[in-house]
Amino acid sequence: MEYSRISCPHQPIKSRNMKLLAKEQIDLEELKGTLEREFTDYKVKYPLFSKKMLRVSKGLSWVGVFQKKDVVKISGGPNIGNVWLILAIAIGAVLGVIGALLVVGIVWLAKKKEFTRMEQEVGHYIKEKYALQDGAIAKV
């Protein structure tokens, strides 16, 4: 089945974490390859010291995908590894701790829709590809 971003149901932004129930372990190397092919405008890679998580990023936004036991968790946020964000935090730090926190808060609010949308796109694709159930629905 060909995935189309148009078919992805965009619900109102309300939750930052998506949990999907998986009956078996998902191979992250295979998932990395399929995400790279499907989302060509996103960078898909492992974090620096971990092979248990995938990091999907674009610009100042990123989404983390990892599996713990029978739950696949998808969580997003601002991309702290981005050079421009590090520079902005450094300038804010010169102004003091409150300045640095203020910069992070502003970036968080400005990019919240973008990384939540990425979360929903990646989560919906994984849910369709591996026929997973939403964590909230399955627990009822």
Contact assessment for residue 84 and residue 103, using Cβ atoms and an 8 Å cutoff:
no
Per-residue pLDDT tens digits for 67-78: 888 888 898 887
Note the Cα 26 to chain centre separation in Å: 17
pTM score of the predicted model: 0.71
Q: At what angle do helices 97-130 and 28-38 cross, to 10 degrees?
A: 100
Contact assessment for residue 44 and residue 55, using Cβ atoms and an 8 Å cutoff:
yes
- The structural domain count of the chain equals 1
Q: What are phi and psi of 44, to 5 degrees?
A: -115, 120
Per-residue pLDDT tens digits for 75-107: 888 777 777 777 877 887 887 878 778 877 888
Its domain, for residue 133, covers 13-80+116-138
- Domain with residue 30: its CATH number is 3.30.310.50
3-state secondary structure of 126: helix
Residue 89 falls within a domain, yes or no? no
Beta bridge partners of 55: 45, 64
